[in-house]
Structure 1
Amino acid sequence: MDGPAAFSRAIDRFSNRCWRLNNLYVVTDKNGRRSAFRMNSAQEALLDGMHNQNIILKARQRGFTTFIQLFMLDACVFNSDIRAGTIAHTLADAQVIFRDKIRFPYDNLPEGIKAIVPPVNDNTSELLLANNSGIRVGTSLRSGTLQYLHISEYGKICAKYPEKAREVRSGALNTVEKNQLVFIESTAEGQDGHFFELCQQARSKRNAGAPLSAMDFKFHFSPWWEDDAYVLEPGAVEIPASFAEYFARLRAIGIDLRPEQKAWYVKKAEQQQGDMKREFPSTPDEAFEAAIEGAYYAEQLARMELDRRLTRVPIDPALPVLTNWDLGFNDANAIWFIQVAGLEVRFIDYYENSGYGLEHYAGELKKRRDENGYTFGEHYLPHDVVNSELSNGKSRYDTLVGLGISPIITVPRVHSINDGINAARRLFPKVLIDPVRCEKGLKCLRNYRKEWDEERAAFRDKPLHNWASNGADAFRNFAQGFVEPSMVAPRHAYSRRSARGGSWESA
């Protein structure tokens, strides 16, 4: 009697995907040891809450890549005619994923299973089985039709390889039919790109309680504090006041950390510095507000946040409001509004727009004077304001003066943009930024980063010119012109020319 019952139990087990995942596969763990795979809490949560299309924002080392590869491998081993694929952000990562998370678990399956579905090919990017199921890994998957698609570190792909991200959108995502399975997982890489957009759309639907169609992405978030491994004996770790305040803010939103978690976070943050919240986020918003890789001001903004200098800043009617501009012919024009109180430099407001003439921006200043009581002081503009002509033959300098914007201080060009960036870094310890009125400008500072060289797989020593450049350049212009004017030795037409008179400020 035991024979048929045992056979029936075996059939039940092998018919259960969860049992198979937890009992059949061998992986290499974080310590480099061969071990039987067992799902952790993050992997179980994904399995239980899985949708057709899944977008996963995560902390480091939560095991999603391993789990998704095993999930797809299992589908191929136990089903015929399945096609699965994984996109990694570099070829080296693709090869590692295939070797360690697909081929190694397959090679260590029980011999009886491998005998039924042996491999019919042998290469470093695709495993094709005798049941006509297969799983392949690459940096772009455009051809064929897939039932399972995994895109690893999509945030990095969007940030560093925009053309590749476009290929993923137009190619790989179109290889999967609407009722099949898609997994997109990544740490955050700033508030820009397709990964950010997908996360925001999916979060909005989740927060609204809206039903999901087969073509809607479901949002999954896996923070560091859900991982039981991220703990440290607290006795030898002193919690600085800035971290104590941070933990208190987390507790206020329902994240109550244990002493051993706080100790781990403090020591890990010492190591990660400005990358901590990107690599080990506590909340989704924090992940996207954190620095992106290659960001120029990552350390400074992280320090400001810990010091509570990204905070609501009151407007002092007794202080003049300085403005600092970045002017573009085809780009957006950006204006910071600043008050200086002793050693404090308060960025109280920000405005940016495009497609308008200078009259529009002069009108914005007048509107703020009338509605918010701004009393304007100097207006800092970049060097080319004095020698760039508009269609009427006037320079933008003369046009602005004619519109009542005065006194104008022109900031000479620096010999090296890196000198200006370093001046901005030196300004940050004195700065407070209002995150509400300056939301767009703060986003520019977070996303201002080095240009990525795809051929060398390294950052170039120059800024990426994108939407974030406008606000960041205006911030740098102020650091050069107001805080450290001696660093930009005036040269001929770029002398610190100022204009007085004709100002609507005194009218």
Structure 2
Amino acid sequence: MKFAYTNMPPELRDSMPLLRESAKELLFAHNNSAIRVATSMRGGTIHRLHISEMGKIARKYPAKATEIVTGALPAVPANGVATIESTAEGTEGEFFDIAQRAENMAKAGVKAGPGQFKFHFFPWFMDPGYVANPRKVKISAKQHEYFDKLEIEVDQPISMRQRAWYVLKMENDFSGDQQKMFQEMPSTPKEAWSRSTEGTYLTPQLDLARRQGRIGNVPYMPGLPVHTFWDIGAGDGTGIWLMQQHGLASRFIRYIEDWGKGYSHYVNELRRTGFVFGQMYLPHDATQTRQLETKIGAPLDMLQDLAPDWSWQIVPRVHDFQAGIEILRNRFSEAWIDEEGCKEGIQHLSLYRKKFNTRLGQFIDEPEKQDGHSEAADAIRQWAQGFTPSLIPATGGNRRSGGRKRTRSTGMTA
């Protein structure tokens, strides 16, 4: 801002002398107005507010994004102007919520009114400078197929020079990573919202499952028992995957979750399905004493009291969290997931990621537990770590496994 002010025509600059200047503010003497740069703008009246890279702020520093929404935006009066520009960073967070509302209004043909944002999207091919010599770039048949589909979608031709630039940019700047290209140089809003794979645990496994058709219509198969895999939170969320084993395929037909509910709620939800249940797999800490709804005890004890006719199994604990993630990744090729019945679970798995250390400015090898996505991942890990089709015990009766140390085929101990 100081550079722009300094390089204005002298007569214009002289009519607006500075009273005070610093790294964060230019205060003008002629009318006491100011231009400020800050990470928070709470308080006062801001007639022109520009917010940069809010998508990245919302993903890595959600508390700061909340401060912008609750502090900075309300400081703009009805006759003021607020603009937000950013690279999109997935389908969650304050920036996505604001932009999604504006985009939905635009799609519906609704004109933005006072206090509402108007959606603007600028694809890479709008820039006339984004061209390259096609004779010096090898464009594959698959890449041409992408551009041909894009032409139909945006109703605009994508020239050979534009195609060459895109391929060259992706190969040189992003090492051929299409996902990074979607994030930084999107062709459509849908691509822009495509979640960055940085810090995620299961994105490659989910992408492969979709390509292989293992996420789609996976219906309930009458005659096969339904096994369940639980993550039971200590006072927070509980997630349950419902699965039928058919040959070598683990068919996940439904996902159930909720927060702040007692175990009786989940037992009732499962009974309402009318399914015939096989084994109920619980995490290792289900045997640990904790404060329950009205008493102190182990979750397993309470669940056995609520459903004595079900067979409960305790999944042994692996030696560390990362080992459990690797087991899940390795077994994910066995999973077939119903897209409708497990919609929330699939979304949680796609957003399950490492914790971001704001001090170090990088992801660390710990799961993020505060965003509501860990329950689904922890629940499906019980399947990967504890379910072996050939070792399914007979159904019925009240069984309790895992009460004493045993060695599994993996060599790990409970």
Q: TM-score range by the shorter chain?
A: 0.7 to 0.9
Q: Cα deviations across residues 346-395 of structure 1 (Å, max 9, x unaligned)?
A: 43321111233223222222333x3xxx5543332211223345445664
- Residue 300 of structure 2 is matched in structure 1 by 397
Given candidates 339, 343, 346, the residue that maps to 1:442 is 346
How many angstroms apart in 1 are the aligned matches of 2:214 and 2:156?
24
Instruction: Classify the secondary structure of the residue corresponding to 1:222.
Output: coil
How many angstroms apart in 2 are the aligned matches of 1:327 and 1:434?
22
- Residue 315 of structure 2 is matched in structure 1 by 411
Instruction: State the Cα distance separating 1:169 from its structure 2 match.
Output: 2.4
Native 8 Å contact 1:278 1:292 kept in 2: no
Native 8 Å contact 2:219 2:253 kept in 1: yes
Q: 431-440 vs 253-262, which deviates more? A: 253-262
- Residue 63 of structure 2 is matched in structure 1 by 163
Distance 1:141 1:392, change over 3 A: closer
Is 1:136 the counterpart of 2:36? The answer is yes
How many angstroms apart in 2 are the aligned matches of 1:250 and 1:223?
11
Instruction: State the Cα distance separating 1:494 from its structure 2 match.
Output: 6.3
Native 8 Å contact 1:410 1:496 kept in 2: no
Distance 1:476 1:278, change over 3 A: farther
TM-score by length of 1: 0.65
Is 1:278 the counterpart of 2:278? The answer is no
Distance 1:151 1:388, change over 3 A: same
How many angstroms apart in 1 are the aligned matches of 2:373 and 2:335?
19
How many angstroms apart in 2 are the aligned matches of 1:298 and 1:163?
26
Is 1:183 the counterpart of 2:83? The answer is yes
Give the letter aligned to residue 320 of structure 2.
S
Distance 1:224 1:343, change over 3 A: farther
Question: Aligned pair count?
Answer: 386
Given candidates 242, 253, 264, the residue that maps to 1:337 is 242
Native 8 Å contact 2:124 2:130 kept in 1: yes
Instruction: State the Cα distance separating 1:271 from its structure 2 match.
Output: 3.4
Give the letter aligned to residue 124 of structure 1.
A
Native 8 Å contact 2:216 2:339 kept in 1: yes
- Residue 379 of structure 1 is matched in structure 2 by 280
Question: How do 1:100-499 and structure 2 match up within 5 A?
Answer: 102-129=1-28, 131-132=30-31, 133-228=33-128, 233=134, 236-240=138-142, 258=158, 260=160, 264=166, 267=170, 271-272=176-177, 274-291=179-196, 293-307=198-212, 309-317=214-222, 319-368=224-273, 370=274, 374-388=275-289, 390=292, 391=294, 395-402=298-305, 403=307, 406-466=310-370, 467-482=372-387, 493=404
Gaps of 5+ in 1: 1-101, 498-507
Give the letter aligned to residue 158 of structure 1.
A
Distance 1:237 1:322, change over 3 A: farther
How many angstroms apart in 2 are the aligned matches of 1:297 and 1:208?
34
How many angstroms apart in 1 are the aligned matches of 2:109 and 2:296?
57
How many angstroms apart in 1 are the aligned matches of 2:131 and 2:233?
49
Q: 334-343 vs 260-269, which deviates more? A: 260-269
Q: 468-477 vs 306-315, which deviates more? A: 306-315
Q: Cα deviations across residues 262-309 of structure 1 (Å, max 9, x unaligned)?
A: 663694575335544433444434544523643223343444455554
Instruction: Classify the secondary structure of the residue corresponding to 1:324.
Output: strand
Native 8 Å contact 2:17 2:28 kept in 1: yes
Give the letter aligned to residue 476 of structure 1.
R
- Residue 398 of structure 2 is matched in structure 1 by none
Instruction: Classify the secondary structure of the residue corresponding to 2:340.
Output: coil
How many angstroms apart in 1 are the aligned matches of 2:116 and 2:191?
24
How many angstroms apart in 1 are the aligned matches of 2:66 and 2:2?
29
TM-score by length of 2: 0.77
Native 8 Å contact 1:350 1:440 kept in 2: yes
Native 8 Å contact 1:413 1:494 kept in 2: no
Instruction: State the Cα distance separating 1:420 from its structure 2 match.
Output: 1.6
Instruction: State the Cα distance separating 1:463 from its structure 2 match.
Output: 1.6
